């Protein structure tokens, strides 16, 4: 019998949930623990900060959480990005839309109607944002999910973070921020107390078992008769470097080839053909990241950092600082740290929360790619012949 393949469930980079959200059980549990306080009508004891380099799954973890909250019912969940929040009045208007909450209005607040839109005028007073949020939460518990939070304006961020802490202390409220490793530094500038009290969730690469599951399960769910040949699976997991974005690209390519061949077994031949499509996407991804590094004027220092990581999984903070200082030809610690912060902002390097002072490469193999665009493949392991 020919195998039946329906629409490809792998949609890399689309913003949709992957067909199997693998290996995030601990992170999911942390978020559900905070959610439980709101279900009990209380504020979360800590707001949450989800950080990690690009393509590791911050957005999809937030999307999963949004879906869980909505499925549970009884709690409002609002999704925002910094572009929705250019200034304090816009922040208040988008989080507590006056059209819905005007009846809760404290007397002293005024409303403006500009270009056909109803908006709050806080008169520059962040304290009233807390009042508004508390009033909204008294009506119904509220979770705010703010993605790409590392790009949040510092003044707006400060108002939001302070309001989030005060609101959660008296009302059923939770704020979850997600962003690149540069978020840490941004939060420090916005509100040191928020940063210290928040629950930090680091999102890095998956372990090998989870990486395999992310590939195998979607095939098995749609086509129980399809199996993976073990060495072929091993090869795909190795080449993906357990990087979630690469896993989805692999999954999509394997599905296309397997569907075309009506394959019942994903073997070396399927992997070899799918690998050609994967390679194209991998290079596109690296070029995109390289341009991001270049735009920040970081290419020379990124090259020196790549050399220092050669054959090393992690560098101590002092070691990384020394490499950056040498590349910049400076003894100035602030200058060195500012440059390190910029590298973290683009996710070129990151320090996973709770991992001590160990810095890791953000995007796997991007460092090799910067050194030698044609040679970058699977981390330090030699690439299998194809």
Ligand X SMILES: Nc1ncnc2c1ncn2[C@@H]1O[C@H](COP(=O)(O)OP(=O)(O)OP(=O)(O)O)[C@@H](O)[C@H]1O
Among ligand X, Mg ion, none, what binds residue 240 when CB lies within 5 to 8 Å by partner kind? none
Query: Binding residue for ligand X (CB under 6 A) from 38, 46, 47, 55?
Result: 55
CA distance 80 to 321: 35
The answer to whether 133 touches 173, Cβ cutoff 8 Å, is: yes
Footprint of ligand X on residues 22-41 (CB under 6 A)?
22-24
∠ CA 369-282-262, rounded to 5°: 150
Residue nearest to ligand X (CB): 57
Footprint of Mg ion on residues 56-75 (CB under 5 A)?
58-59
| Minimal distance, residue 43 CB to ligand X, in Å | 26
Query: Binding residue for ligand X (CB under 6 A) from 34, 38, 47, 57?
Result: 57
Residue with tokens 């699976």: 233
CA distance 314 to 308: 10
Backbone angles phi, psi at 138, to 5 degrees: -70, -30
Distance in Å from the first CA to the final CA of the chain: 30
Binding-residue total with ligand X (CB under 6 A): 21
| Minimal distance, residue 385 CB to ligand X, in Å | 27
Footprint of ligand X on residues 125-144 (CB under 6 A)?
none
**CA-to-CA separations, 144 to 58, 81, 172, 206, 253, in angstroms, rounded:** 15, 10, 11, 26, 35
Cα 310–chain centre separation: 26
Query: Binding residue for ligand X (CB under 6 A) from 31, 49, 60, 363?
Result: 60
**β-bridge mates for residue 48, sequence order:** 176, 199
The answer to whether 191 touches 158, Cβ cutoff 8 Å, is: yes
Among Mg ion, ligand X, none, what binds residue 85 when CB lies within 5 to 8 Å by partner kind? none
Choices 162-170, 244-252, 302-310, 353-361; region in contact with ligand X by CB under 6 A:
244-252
Among ligand X, Mg ion, none, what binds residue 22 when CB lies within 5 to 8 Å by partner kind? ligand X
Residue nearest to Mg ion (CB): 59
Report which of 293, 222, 201, 214 is spatially closest to residue 246, judged by C-alpha positions.
214
Query: Binding residue for ligand X (CB under 6 A) from 128, 166, 180, 240?
Result: 180
The answer to whether 128 touches 92, Cβ cutoff 8 Å, is: yes
Using rule CB under 6 A, residue 361 touches ligand X:
no
Using rule CB under 6 A, residue 18 touches ligand X:
yes
| Minimal distance, residue 68 CB to ligand X, in Å | 15
CA distance 42 to 137: 10
Using rule CB under 6 A, residue 360 touches ligand X:
no
Q: Which two tokens stand for residue 287?
A: 């070029």
CA distance 205 to 52: 9
Choices 18-26, 166-174, 184-192, 233-241; region in contact with ligand X by CB under 6 A:
18-26
Q: By CB under 5 A, name the binding residues for Mg ion.
A: 58-59
- Given the rule CB under 6 A, which residues bind ligand X? 12-13, 18, 21-24, 52, 54-60, 180, 214, 244-245, 247-248
């Amino acid at each position: 019998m020919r195998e039946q393949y329906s629409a490809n469930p792998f949609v890399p980079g689309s913003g949709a949930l992957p067909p199997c959200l693998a290996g995030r059980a601990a992170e999911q549990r942390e978020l559900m623990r905070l959610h439980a306080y709101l279900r009990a009508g209380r504020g979360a004891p800590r707001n949450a900060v989800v950080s990690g380099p690009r393509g590791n799954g911050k957005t999809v973890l937030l999307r999963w959480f949004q879906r869980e909250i909505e499925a549970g019912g009884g709690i409002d969940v609002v999704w925002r990005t910094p572009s929705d929040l250019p200034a304090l009045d816009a922040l208040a208007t988008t989080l507590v839309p006056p059209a819905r909450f005007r009846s809760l209005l404290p007397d002293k607040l005024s409303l403006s109607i500009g270009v056909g839109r109803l908006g709050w005028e806080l008169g520059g007073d962040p304290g009233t944002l807390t009042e508004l949020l508390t009033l909204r939460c008294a009506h119904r518990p509220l979770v705010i999910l703010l993605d790409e939070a590392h790009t949040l304006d510092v003044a707006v961020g400060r108002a939001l973070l302070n309001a989030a802490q005060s609101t959660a202390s008296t009302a059923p409220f939770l704020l979850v921020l997600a962003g690149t490793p540069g978020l840490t530094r941004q939060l420090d500038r916005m509100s040191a107390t928020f940063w210290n009290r928040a629950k930090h969730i680091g999102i890095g690469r998956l372990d090998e078992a989870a990486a395999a599951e992310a590939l195998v399960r979607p095939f098995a769910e749609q086509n129980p008769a399809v199996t993976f040949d073990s060495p072929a699976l091993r090869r795909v997991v190795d080449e993906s470097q357990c990087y979630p974005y690469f896993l989805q690209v692999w999954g999509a390519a394997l599905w296309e080839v397997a569907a075309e061949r009506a394959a019942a077994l994903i073997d070396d031949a399927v992997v070899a053909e799918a690998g050609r499509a994967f390679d194209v996407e991998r290079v596109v991804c690296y070029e995109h990241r390289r341009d991001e590094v270049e735009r920040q004027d970081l290419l020379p220092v990124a090259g020196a950092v790549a050399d220092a990581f050669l054959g090393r999984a992690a560098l101590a903070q002092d070691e990384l600082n020394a490499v950056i200082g040498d590349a910049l030809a400076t003894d100035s610690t602030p200058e060195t740290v500012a440059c390190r912060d910029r590298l973290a902002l683009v996710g070129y390097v990151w320090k996973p929360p709770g991992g001590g002072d160990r810095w890791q490469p953000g995007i796997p193999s991007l460092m090799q790619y910067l050194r030698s665009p044609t040679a970058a493949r699977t981390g330090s392991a030699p690439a299998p012949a194809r």
